[in-house]
Chains A and B, each alone.
Chain A
Amino acid sequence: MTSIHCSISKPCRPLVVLLLAALLAACAPVQPWERGRLAQPVMALDGNPMLSAMDEHVYSSKEASSGGVGPAGGGCGCN
């Protein structure tokens, strides 16, 4: 017979459940009117897309190969 040992004593289990629930409830959503900072350009995953494109262009020219930056794609390789 397989036995499963639980280190948390039986009377403590509801307390653990409540504690976990309380932790989950602590995840407060950001209200729609509080997203001013999130809307700032600096918060974008790519803060400066033009600079990133130029960097990528210089990199691929120097390496004589393109790709390896970001997800796989096609491209004409005409640098």
Chain B
Amino acid sequence: MFKQHLRRKLKRSVCAILLAAFLPHAHVHAAESGSAGSDFRLPTLGGDGELTLQDLRGKVVYLDFWASWCGPCRKSLPLYESLYQEIGSQQFAIVAINLDETREDAVRFLKQHPVSYTILLDPVGSTAADWQIRVMPTSFLLDRSGMIVREYAGFEPAHIEDIRHDIDTLLDQ
């Protein structure tokens, strides 16, 4: 009888512990398709000023979160550069937020993989936290009003055609 009572109590305790352990991780994914992208103000890599998401209103924006240590970024950045060269900057912008701890790491990487689009620096990762990045790299496609149209978690070179198609669809709207 006492044993059963103890077992029931133990079961309840284990359930409580498990629930408490998982509670801190339970959150709503804020950066979802159809929601407005969280605004940011970040310095450019060149040190010539700051950029906010508001500044990009009116353009279709491809927002990329990357770091020099991220393997797939070695493939994605050159492909994004080709995409940027093809589409042009009149109605479209690629903004890549670098999440390296030091600026030097980003500069070293970009010497090997140069790009002409805007690179912003976020060594603390506050923007990545706001946008709730789950994997590296992660990108977002935003429409002209700053609404998130699609999230791309991870990168494979085969994804570029899909991304291109999504951008073209938005540019035609």
Are A29's CB and B65's CB within 8 A? no
Are A24's CB and B69's CB within 8 A? no
Interface size for chain A: under 10, 10 to 19, 20 to 34, or 35 or more residues? 20 to 34
**B79 interfacial contact with A, CB 8 Å:** no
CB distance from B54 to the nearest CB of A (A): 23
Query: With contacts A4-B3, A35-B136 known, is A25 near B24, CB below 8 A?
Result: yes
Q: How far is the CA of A8 from the CA of B45 in the complex (A)?
A: 59
Interface positions of A from 25 to 75, Cβ below 8 Å from B: 25, 27, 29, 31-36, 39-40
CB distance from A33 to the nearest CB of B (A): 4
**B28 interfacial contact with A, CB 8 Å:** no
**B21 interfacial contact with A, CB 8 Å:** yes
> Which residues in A have their C-beta under 8 angstroms from that of B129?
31
Interface centre among B70, B100, B134, B135 (most CB of A within 10 A): B70
**A3 interfacial contact with B, CB 8 Å:** yes
- Which residues of A are interface residues toward B (Cβ below 8 A)? 2-4, 6, 13, 17-18, 20-22, 24-25, 27, 29, 31-36, 39-40
